[in-house]
Amino acid sequence: MAAELDLVLRGGTLVLPWGEAVGDVAVRGGRIVGLGTVDGHAAEEIDCRGLHVLPGLIDSHVHLREPGDASVETIETGTRAAVLGGLVAVFDMPNTNPSITDVARLDWKRDHLKGRAWCDMGLYVGATKANIAGLAELEAQPNVCAIKVFAGSSTGDLLVEDDESLERVMRAGRRRICYHSEDEYRLQARKPAYSSGMPHRMHAEWRDVECAFLGTRRLMALARKTGRPAHILHVSTAEELDYLRDHRDLATVEVLLNHLTQTDEAYDRLGGYAVMNPPIRDARHLEAAWRAVADGTVDTVGSDHAPHSRAAKERPWPDCGAGLTGVQTLVPLMLDHVSAGRLSLSRLADLMCAGPARVYGVVGKGRMAAGYDADFTVVDMKRVRTIEESWIASPCGWTPFAGHRCTGWPVMTIIRGTVAMREDEVQGTPGGAPVRFGR
Ligand code: DOR
């Protein structure tokens, strides 16, 4: 008898948008065609009893560095890491070398990912003071998740720091803009107070709470003036979270796994491997970030996966590269937070699936429902496993979370009906496709 279905996932606990239920999922042609009790005959059946079937989780904030330094990361290695870590899609930042700031470079990247990416990819485009006139056209290109504005300087050469230019960016186009929000003037004014070789914890003093809070107040004042929706990336302070609660008509909020997991003790333990922008801060901010997860202020959680070479990380502060790897460890660590009772699996799916879909306008993905892409992250909440550096697929080869014991682990990544990872092995060939977005 010919199979009428391509795949059935049998008997897992489905984490559906409307709650958890034990049941089956039927897949045909890369899409979900049935949920609940599935009777049909399938070419492939996967026993999911005892496992949770989550909608395919998305990391909406990664830096895969291509074009750039292949000894640190590429699209192939970064997406391999993503599927090993249970992700079905990543949204890739534009601060590469060169940066993705025009249609030709965007077209290059979209072509280049085909046959190389193991998971699906959304593509950011970068704003510069020179490309403002072309931003409306650029954000309307296929597979663009958003314009990214670095309003404070970080890795790479993207920077739009002054109010006049920021307002012009906001008046060019109409989709939600993503911001790196640290006030560049305050960053530069404070820099001379610090010198090479000072302790790494000075990073959080230099790029202090007011740097981030002032950056966000300035951006939201301009967003209010222009009416342009904003997604404030990696919100790292209690002050910003309180403030943004009063701006939810315009603002959506990203918090990073790092800011939910690490505090400033990490500087003494990890040195340069704790340095990122905006910085890891004290426990007051971590607690505020969890309260913001609990009360719905946070829309998305991402990794801000930002690989640098070991040599770059081991330079004295502040010359060490800023940014931490995380695409492969995001799901295991979030599952560990679920196991510790900090959030539910439903809220995790909301933050890493429905949230990205809502904020970026994903089409046909990001929801476990009939007709949507058959994307699943299958997890074993009983699995206890320690994160080891030998597991890391990124060529830079390190993780700030080595030695962290996780309860809960992704055991299968299924993308548009095809198993991309099963029990730590990537399957087949890189089949990732560009993600579609509404405009
Ligand atoms: O720590 C960071 N690293 N923050 C950023 O904004 C950029 C990133 C990178 O690309 O290295």
Residue 278 CA to ligand 1 centre (angstroms) = 8
Residue 276 CA to ligand 1 centre (angstroms) = 6
How far is 295 from 382, CA to CA, in rounded Å?
Answer: 27
Q: What is the DSSP string of 294-326?
A: HTT---EEE--B----HHHHTSPTTTSPP-B--
Q: Specify the pTM.
A: 0.98
151 lines ligand 1 (CB under 6 A): no
63 lines ligand 1 (CB under 6 A): yes
Q: In this structure, which residue's CA is closest to atom 2 in ligand 1?
A: 323
CATH superfamily, domain at 57-360:
Metal-dependent hydrolases (3.20.20.140)
| Tens place of pLDDT per residue across the chain (439 aa) | 567 999 999 999 999 999 999 999 999 999 999 999 999 889 999 999 999 999 999 999 999 999 999 999 999 999 999 999 999 999 999 999 999 999 999 999 999 999 999 999 999 999 999 999 999 999 999 999 999 999 999 999 999 999 999 999 999 999 999 999 999 999 999 999 999 999 999 999 999 999 999 999 999 999 999 999 999 999 999 999 999 999 999 999 999 999 999 999 999 999 999 999 999 999 999 999 999 999 999 999 999 999 999 999 999 999 999 999 999 999 999 999 999 999 999 999 999 999 999 999 999 999 999 999 999 999 999 999 999 999 999 999 999 999 999 999 999 999 999 999 999 999 999 999 999 999 6
297 lines ligand 1 (CB under 6 A): no
Choose the residue to mutate in 155, 256, 280, 324 for probing ligand 1, maximizing ligand atoms within 8 Å of C-beta. Answer: 155
Choose the residue to mutate in 276, 313, 327 for probing ligand 1, maximizing ligand atoms within 8 Å of C-beta. Answer: 276
Catalytic residue annotation: 304
- For residue 94, is the peptide bond before it cis, meaning its omega torsion is within 30 degrees of 0? no
How far is 202 from 275, CA to CA, in rounded Å?
Answer: 10
What residue segments make up the domains of the chain, in order of their start? 57-360
Residue 260 CA to ligand 1 centre (angstroms) = 17
Residue 369 CA to ligand 1 centre (angstroms) = 35
Residue 45 CA to ligand 1 centre (angstroms) = 41
Choose the residue to mutate in 91, 161, 304 for probing ligand 1, maximizing ligand atoms within 8 Å of C-beta. Answer: 304
277 lines ligand 1 (CB under 6 A): yes
How far is 183 from 187, CA to CA, in rounded Å?
Answer: 6
Residue 155 CA to ligand 1 centre (angstroms) = 5
77 lines ligand 1 (CB under 6 A): no
323 lines ligand 1 (CB under 6 A): yes
Question: 274: burial class by Cβ within 10 Å (0-12, 13-18, 19+)?
Answer: buried
Let me know: does 123 contact 434? Beta carbons within 8 Å: yes
CA 221, chain centre distance (Å): 26
300 lines ligand 1 (CB under 6 A): no
DSSP 29: T
149 lines ligand 1 (CB under 6 A): no
DSSP 274: G
